[in-house]
Chain A
Amino acid sequence: MLEIKNLVVQIEDNRILNGLNLTVNDGEVAAIMGPNGSGKSTLSYVIAGKEDYEVLDGEILLDGQNVLEMGADERAAAGVFLAFQYPLEIPGVGTMTFLKACLNAQRRARGEAEIATPDFIRQVNAAAEKLEINKDMLRRALNVGFSGGEKKRMEILQMALLQPKFCVLDETDSGLDIDALRIVSEGVNALRAQGRSFLVITHYQRLLDYIVPDTVHVMSKGLIVKTGGKELAKELEASGYAEYRTNEAA
């Protein structure tokens, strides 16, 4: 599904990723854990196509196609989805208008017909109900006045609607209380399927109790330094990241 080879990235002369390699297979949920500043968020932005980052070397292949050659919108149409750590508020842009514009832009890019309005409303309502998003939120401007938890649920709603192939969840658990964490996780779990893979970025093991990963990678200083199964997350929870910080210092 996704293969990252020797990815070297810098921002303003500051090297963040140092030849990172990572493979996520079809249908796999891979978790990336690591201390602050290890480059986790940078990795998510570079996959999604944020322009501030300079890619010095390497490639990111989605089903064999190098997404680094595409704009952020083209990547989205190809199936890349980033659930933002801090979803942005866009005053003046209605949530439904936004959702429909995104869905149709992706459809157009793939040469598909635009969605009929009744179908669109039905799909949004179905996804909103599962995520306990009320109709009032859908009537408001995108994310404006939403709580942290509501914004994260709105991200998952977008994911459910856009049906991407490869989803990156950037610290989706941050700012969530237990109930919101459960709702969001159930939303993600409902989307787990063959043909769709996830990269779940988090500091804490807690999220991985709800979204149980197939593999866990530890990231430090812009590299994947350890890979294991879901038990690795529990080990980290017990031992902390000290070992990896020591490695960095060494």
Chain B
Amino acid sequence: MADIANLRTSAETGLSTLFETARKGFGSETAISREEAFRFFEAAGLPSRRVEAFKYTDLRAAMQEAAPPAETPALDLATSAVASATAFSAIEAVRLTFVNGHLIRELSDLDRVPAGVSVSPLNEALSRGDARLKNLAPVAQARENPIYQLNTAFLADGALISVEAGAKVETPLHLRFVGAGAEGFSTATRVLVEVADGAEFTLLETHEGPNGLTYQPNDALDVHVGKHAAFRHARINREGDKAIALSTISVRLDDESRLETVNLVTGAVLSRHQIYMHVAGENVNAVVNGAAMLGDGQLADSTLLADHAAVGGVGREMFKTVIDGDATGVFQGKIIVRQIAQKTDGKMKSDCLLLSDEGQMMNKPELEIFADDVACGHGATCGAPDQDLLFYLMARGLPKPIAESLLVQAFVGEAVESVTHEGARAALIGEIEAWLASRG
């Protein structure tokens, strides 16, 4: 039988043209290989449902056209866009503001970065060939991912954040990403966070944009958590209703380190949030949570790879999806326990609450275990709100919509309960309440 090659789509041809144009502007960076990343991407093209990892999120079908990389916006446009960005805004934090994927110095707190932390804009680091660039892409598997490859190829801006050894940083750093404008665009940002041994650091991340604007953000966060260090991360995706939002977190965890990350999705027509976690050191403790609350036409995909390559790691992964209208939720979670990683304790769970008859949830949990002394498990549930619980609440006087909201809130709330930063936890609960209120 003859080989049948996929015809290149308009978006794929567009991406090649855009890359050819963009590469003329790239400096002589040696630390990252945009060329290599793009060639790998180009060879396979946009992943379709024929590719197992994208079976439920067909990017080839969803991304009709490749949007051009966004220019740095004028300051007045950026200022007005940021004025309407409210996610995590009530929290006392040091803010780095990105509008259309470009760091806006005037709207950032680069001059009041807390003690023990240093922040360098990525485009400056790229032009001067910062030594830390070699620490980008800390997890090997991520480099094989087409979304991450596109991010590397088109990388436009971001930040390098270093936290000194032993620094216990109380004030969180807030990466505020805002989309603005009238024409469609794409972005490619990369933020590297290096938390040195014994340090503690909290990162907040929000993504917001206007409804009706067709834009394609691609944001990557690379994290290296040193020995006995702690990295806490809370993220909100409140992108506009036409956005195709792609994101990747790659985390390397050293001995005795702690990771806490949660991603709450209410925005974007299509979103895919990828988490690559590499347990490189012994006795790490990782809490990886996600929650998605989706309405008509939305698809949200959470894809997780937890690779345990050291002894005694504890992993708790909890994903909650609430589906209304004809929305689709996707959870793909894979735990690998390498032969050396004895005493690994991993629990992965994906629960879905279906509020309508038209919604659907795709769950794909996988375990690959090569060690013999481990405790690993996964579970997936899917169902409508419990009618007995509903009756119990109504019998106490709560009208049905309020009773149902309370149950939904309790269901999703479990995924944000473990957030250490009190203000972030309260704000995430506020997001959940706002979604429920908007549902009416």
Chain A interfacial positions (CB closer than 8 Å to B):
48-52, 71-73, 75-77, 81-82, 84, 87-88, 90-93, 98, 101-103, 105-106, 109, 141, 158, 162
Contact = CB atoms under 8 A, between A and B. Distances in A.
B410 A91 contact: yes
B402 A90 contact: no
Q: Which of A51, A72, A75 has the most CB of B within 10 A?
A: A72
B388 A76 contact: no
Given A76-B397, A102-B397, A90 B413 contact: no
Given A72-B394, A76-B397, A101 B402 contact: yes
A200 to B, nearest CB: 17
Contacts of A158: 396
A84 B414 contact: no
B271 to A, nearest CB: 24
Contacts of B407: 90, 93
A91 B395 contact: no
A76 B391 contact: no
- Contact residues of B: prevailing secondary structure: helix
Given A50-B391, A88-B389, A102 B414 contact: no
Nearest to B408: A92
B392 A162 contact: no
A82 B394 CA distance: 11
Contacts of A73: 394-395, 397-400, 403
Please classify how large the interface on chain B is, using the bins under 10, 10 to 19, 20 to 34, 35 or more: 20 to 34
A88 B394 contact: no
A90 B395 CA distance: 14
Nearest to B388: A88
Interface string B363-395: 000000000000000000000000111011111
B32 interface: no
23 contacts: A51-B391, A71-B394, A73-B394, A73-B398, A73-B399, A73-B400, A76-B394, A88-B388, A88-B389, A88-B392, A91-B410, A92-B411, A92-B413, A92-B417, A93-B406, A101-B398, A101-B406, A102-B397, A105-B397, A105-B398, A105-B399, A109-B399, A162-B396
Given A71-B394, A92-B411, A109-B399, 12 more contacts: A48-B395, A71-B400, A72-B391, A73-B394, A77-B397, A82-B395, A88-B392, A90-B392, A90-B410, A93-B406, A105-B402, A141-B410
Contacts of B413: 92
Nearest to B411: A92
B414 A91 contact: yes
Q: Which of A82, A87, A92, A162 has the most CB of B within 10 A?
A: A92
B397 A109 contact: yes
B399 A49 contact: no
A110 to B, nearest CB: 10
A87 B410 CA distance: 17
A81 B410 CA distance: 24
Contacts of A48: 391, 395
Interface of B: 387-389, 391-400, 402-403, 406-407, 409-411, 413-414, 417
Contacts of A106: 397
Nearest to B412: A92
A72 B397 CA distance: 7
A158 B406 CA distance: 18
Given A72-B391, A73-B403, A93 B398 contact: no
B395 A93 contact: no
Given A88-B388, A88-B389, A91-B410, A49 B397 contact: no
A231 to B, nearest CB: 33
A75 B398 CA distance: 10
Interface centre among A73, A81, A158, A162 (most CB of B within 10 A): A73
A71 B398 CA distance: 10
A102 B396 contact: yes
Contacts of A90: 389, 392-393, 407, 410
Listed from nearest, the 8 A-B pairs whose CB atoms lie closest are: A92-B410, A76-B397, A72-B394, A106-B397, A102-B396, A105-B397, A73-B394, A88-B392
A109 B406 CA distance: 18
Contacts of A81: 395
A228 to B, nearest CB: 30
Contacts of B409: 92-93
